[in-house]
Amino acid sequence: MKTEIAGITRANEGMQGITWNILGQTYVPKNCSEDSFSWHATFPPGTFVPPHIHPDQDEYLYILEGKLDFFLGGSETSATPGDLVRLQRGIPHGIFNKSDQNAKVLFWVSPSRRLYDLFWAIHNMKEQKPEDVVALAAEYNIHFLPPPPGA
């Protein structure tokens, strides 16, 4: 994990110029320390993060643009610009862009654990096959679940 020092991560830039391709989305890490990891994400139409659980992290999303649909603890809901989505540790959740426009989001987790390292590992896969991503994520204590009905 790369720990950042005090400073500014500029708009449209990741720390140290890093940009990742994760499941068809663009993730740009903004800050990473032991206590917190944040990244900007762009979800093109039709992309999603399958339902999963973070057993030892709280996750938050602040919607900047567009609309995202969520599978959240067994229910479906959606969020639009200005909404803050709170995903406490242990709560199953999936994130879906079912719209025809990009969605832009600021994500963060606390504590960081190994999520930064997982994103590097997924980004570096030659091909991000779902079964391989699921197996890899489990090694980093992120556990994917079967998709919800109708997803």
**5: DSSP letter:** P
Backbone angles phi, psi at 139, to 5 degrees: -65, -20
Burial class (CB in 10 A: 0-12, 13-18, 19+), 148: middle
Cα(first)–Cα(last) distance of the chain, in Å?
33
Tens digits of residue pLDDT in 6-47:
888 888 889 889 999 999 999 999 999 999 999 999 999 999
> What is the structure's pLDDT at 16?
87
Amino acid at 125: M
pTM of the full structure: 0.91
Tens digits of residue pLDDT in 71-109:
998 899 999 999 999 999 999 999 999 999 999 999 999
Using the predicted structure, report yes or no on whether residue 150 has a pLDDT greater than 90. Answer: no
Going along the chain from its start, the domains and CATH numbers come out as 15-141 (2.60.120.10)
